[in-house]
Amino acid sequence: MRPEDSTSPVVVAARRTPIATRGRALAALTVEQLAVPVVRAVHEDAGAVLGRTPDIADVVLGNCMGPGGNPARVAALGAGLGFAVPGLTVDRQCGSGLAAIIEAATAIAAGDARPRIAGGVESASTAPLRSVDGVAYARAPFAPAGWHDPDMTQAAEDLARHDGISRERQDAYAARSTQRAVIAEEAGRFTDELVPLPGMADHDEPTTQRLDRLLPRFTPLFADGSLTAGNTCRVSDGAAAVLLVPGGAASRGAAPGLALRGHAVVGCDPALPGIGAAPAILEALERAGVDLASVQAVELVEAFAAQTLAVLDRLGVAEDDERLCTDGGALALGHPWGASGAVSVVRLFSRLVRGGAPAGTLGLAAASVGGGLGVAAVFEVVR
C-alpha cells in the first residue's frame, strides 16, 4: 500500500438510482430528474461520513444523448447546492461517467482541495430527436468521412467475427452475469447504494425480467450473426454519483474510501471500438504501479458479451473470473450510457468499502467507448 498523499483524490460516498430499460419504470424522468436525487444523496452521505456538510467546488456529470444545456449545472441547482456551484457536463459516450470522475479527481490532484461530486446520467427514454434541416439522424458520427464508422451493435458483431467468439460463449457469459445479479439482489447487496425514486422505482429491473434473458430463444440481430437480445445489454435509464475529497485526515478524517491511484484514456481502431478497455486498463495499471493479478475487484462495462470477452481475451483474464462483475454487470442490470462508467465505481465502492475490504485492496473500473476509445481507473481502499 502506498502512503496516502494529501492531494490524492478519494471517493468517500457513492450512490446510484435504480436502472431500468428505456421506456419502462423510469421513462417519465428527464436527465435532471434522474441526476438530482443522486447528487443530493451523495452530498447528504458526505455529511454523515465526514462529520460535516462539505462545500462543493463543482459537479461533473457524464451524459451522451441528453438535451444539452449543461445538465450537471441544472442538477447542482436542483440538489440545493447553491448557485455558486458551477457544473460541467462531459461526453465521452459510454465512458462518460468514469471520465467525469477522473476529471473531478484531476482537479483535486492538481492541488484544488475542495470536494467535488462526479458521476453520470442518462435518460434514453427522454433523449431528444436530433435533426439537421428537419431531417432526423440516429447519432453523430464517431469518425470522419473515410474512416470505418460502425454503430456499436454492428461493431460488436464485427468484433465477434474478427475474434471468432461464438454465440454459445456469449450466451454463457451473459447468463453468468445475470445469475450473479439475481443472487446479489436477493442477498441485498445493492440496497445501500440505491437512491429510491418516489413513485417510480426503488430497485433495479425486476429479477424475473432478467431471468427471461437466460432463455435460448433469441434470434440473431444480423443474418448469420451471433449477437442476440440475450447477449447484448439493454439501453437504459439511470444515474450514479460519487463524492471525491483529497486524502489525508484534514479532508477525509476517518472516512474510508477509494483512492484513485492511476487512470488512462486511450484511443484504438474505430472499426473495432469494443477492445478499447484493454489498452486503457494496461496503461492505468502501469501508471498505478501495479499489475492485474494484484487487483481484487474488476468492474467492466458489459455493453455486449462479445465485446467483454474480446477485452478479457486480450488481458488474459478468464471469463468466469470471480473478481469480474461479481454481482453482475450491464448485461444484467442495463446500460444507461452516460452513467455506466460511474455505476462501475459505485459498484466498486459497495464491493470494497461497504463490503469491508482491508486497506490496500485494489479495484479497477473500465469501459470501451464508441469511436474507438477506452477509459480505465485503478482504485485502492483506504481506511
Q: Tell me whether residue 203 is one of the annotated catalytic residues.
A: no
Q: Which of 194, 55, 23 is nearest to 124 (CA)?
A: 23
Q: Which of 106, 62, 59 is nearest to 82 (CA)?
A: 59
CA atoms of 37 and 239, how far apart (whole Å)? 9
335 catalytic? Reply is: yes
By C-alpha distance, which of 111, 103, 198, 169 is closest to 304?
169
Cell of 268: 484504438
Cell reading at 307: 465485446
Q: Which residue has the cell 477492445?
A: 275
- Selected catalytic residue, list 43, 233, 263, 335: 335
**Coil, strand, or helix at residue 84?**
coil
Alpha-carbon gap, residue 258 to 382, rounded angstroms: 6
7 in Cβ contact with 236 (< 8 Å) = no
Host H or E run for residue 355: none
For residues 271 and 135, what is the distance between their CA atoms, to the nearest angstrom?
Answer: 26
Residue found under cell 444515474: 239
Q: DSSP 3-state assignment of 368? A: strand
Of 195, 197, 191, 190, give the one whose Cα is nearest residue 41.
195
**Residue 258 contacts residue 353 (beta carbons within 8 Å):** yes
**Interior/surface letters 171-185, b for 16+ CB within 10 angstroms, e for the rest:** bbbbbbbbebbbebb
Question: Of the residues 94, 233, 268, 325, which is catalytic?
Answer: 94
What CA–CA distances, in Å, run from 58 to 100, 309, 319? 11, 36, 38
- Report phi then psi at 201, rounded to 5: -165, 145
Cα–Cα distance for residue pair 332/179, rounded to 1 Å: 8
Cell numbers placing 60: 461533473
Which active-site residues does the annotation give?
A: 94, 335
